[in-house]
Amino acid sequence: MERTSSSLHTDKIGAEQQMKLFPATRYMGSKSKLLQYIWDASSKYKFDSVIDLFSGSGVVSYMYKTHGKAVISNDYMAMGGVITKALVENDSTILPVEEAKELIKDNIDTDEFVYKTFKGIYYNDEDNHFIDVLRAHIALMDDEYKKAIAMQALIRTCVKKRPRGIFTYVGDRYNDGRKDLQKSFEDHFLEAVALINNAVFSNGRHCESYNVDSMNLNKKADLVYIDPPYYTPKSDNEYVRRYHFVEGLARDWKGVEIQEHTKTKKFKSYPTPFSTKDGAENAFDTIFKQYSDSILVVSYSSNSLPNMEDMINLLKKYKNNVEVIPVDYKYSFGTRNTVKRNNVQEYIFIGA
């Protein structure tokens, strides 16, 4: 049943139940399966406020919110800012289904941007037009939280309608016939709105959502959760390359230049220090220094650089007590038919 109001307080249903309402996605590097470990590691310490510096899918921010913390979420991807605006900062606004239905009405002039730019690339003409209609309606919305819910629902729809949920290839080659791919854009969108509405809640605390480079977020909190892209020399950790289409939606392709020669019509990845070993090491050092007064909780994996020893040494520069919690974790890749599993250890480092 759809809720009409969302002044829900976590006390009423408990953190665990509230967490189940988070609309999960398959975002690269999402910690949705590690939440309990992150919470167990954090909750040994007394803290009231949290910065989630690389919030990605928003699932960790939401987890801390369910535990009654004042959460500041940040990611340099605009799409990261959309989800945390809708479900972390927002504590009471929903987008009523009747209003959502108005957004899909084909009664507005569109700029045909998606229809023309991405013709024959990810979706058919009809679906591309649907996206443009939604974009045009969303652009006219005044309420920032309703707008974020609508945009998040559109992003979720596009990801669900895309085999593997990514935009690194063109055409339909990974279509394994799953239900999500058969369902219409309209059904996906309205379902997504209902799901997001249902996840809106207040924990009685002031929470904030930001969309800046990690080095430029000048905020303070008792605990800082640090989960940047994992650097390995072999694998690709570029978020923009994977998600450029939905990231483009989130920022309406403002301030980026589509690389017209590419088949995928992607735009350049944003610069981040986490694309080289030295860059990552220096960035960790800078972040640890900047937040040296806070409890530091870092997620990183065993096949990434800096390695475990280096990370411990970096943390020890600023923190007296450094602890590592190894978690055996299996990453899976591919479509339903070709699932490969890769055994790595996921580390949670804590500096206090």
Ligand X SMILES: C[S@@+](CC[C@H](N)C(=O)[O-])C[C@H]1O[C@@H](n2cnc3c(N)ncnc32)[C@H](O)[C@@H]1O
Q: Can you give the binding site for ligand X, defined by CB under 6 A?
A: 27, 29-31, 54-57, 59-60, 75-77, 80, 213-214, 227-229, 239, 272, 274
Tell me the closest approach of the beta carbon of residue 110 to ligand X, in angstroms: 28
Q: Which is nearer to ligand X, 59 or 103 (CB)?
A: 59
Minimum distance between the CB of residue 231 and ligand X, rounded to whole angstroms?
11
CB of 23 to ligand X, least distance (A): 13
Q: Min. distance of Cβ 217 from ligand X in angstroms?
A: 8
C-beta of 108 vs 232, nearer to ligand X: 232
The nearer residue to ligand X, 137 or 162, going by C-beta atoms, is 162
Measured from the CB atom, is 51 or 153 closer to ligand X? 51
Nearer to ligand X (CB atom), residue 128 or residue 294 = 294
Taking the complex as a whole, the smallest distance from the CB of residue 214 to ligand X amounts, in Å, to 4
The least distance separating ligand X from the CB of residue 75, rounded to whole angstroms, comes to 5
Q: How would you write the chain as a 3-class SS string?
A: CCCCCCCCEHHHHCHHHHHCCCCCCCCCCCCCCCHHHHHHHHCCCCCCEEEECCCCCCHHHHHHHHCCCEEEEECCCHHHHHHHHHHHHCCCCCCCHHHHHHHCCCCCCCCCHHHHHCCCCCCCHHHHHHHHHHHHHHHCCCCHHHHHHHHHHHHHHHHHCCHHHCCCCCCCCCCCCCHHHHCCHHHHHHHHHHHHHHHCCECCCCCEEECCCHHHCCCCCCEEEECCCCCCCCCCCCHHHHHHHHHHHHHCCCCCCECCCCCCCCECCCCCHHHCHHHHHHHHHHHHHHCCCCEEEEEEECCCCCCHHHHHHHHHCCCCCEEEEEEEEEEEECCCCCCEEEEEEEEEEEEC
Residue 29 vs 68, nearer CB to ligand X = 29
In the bound state with ligand X, the residue whose beta carbon lies nearer, of 267 and 274, is 274
In the complex, least distance from residue 47 CB atom to ligand X, rounded to whole angstroms? 18
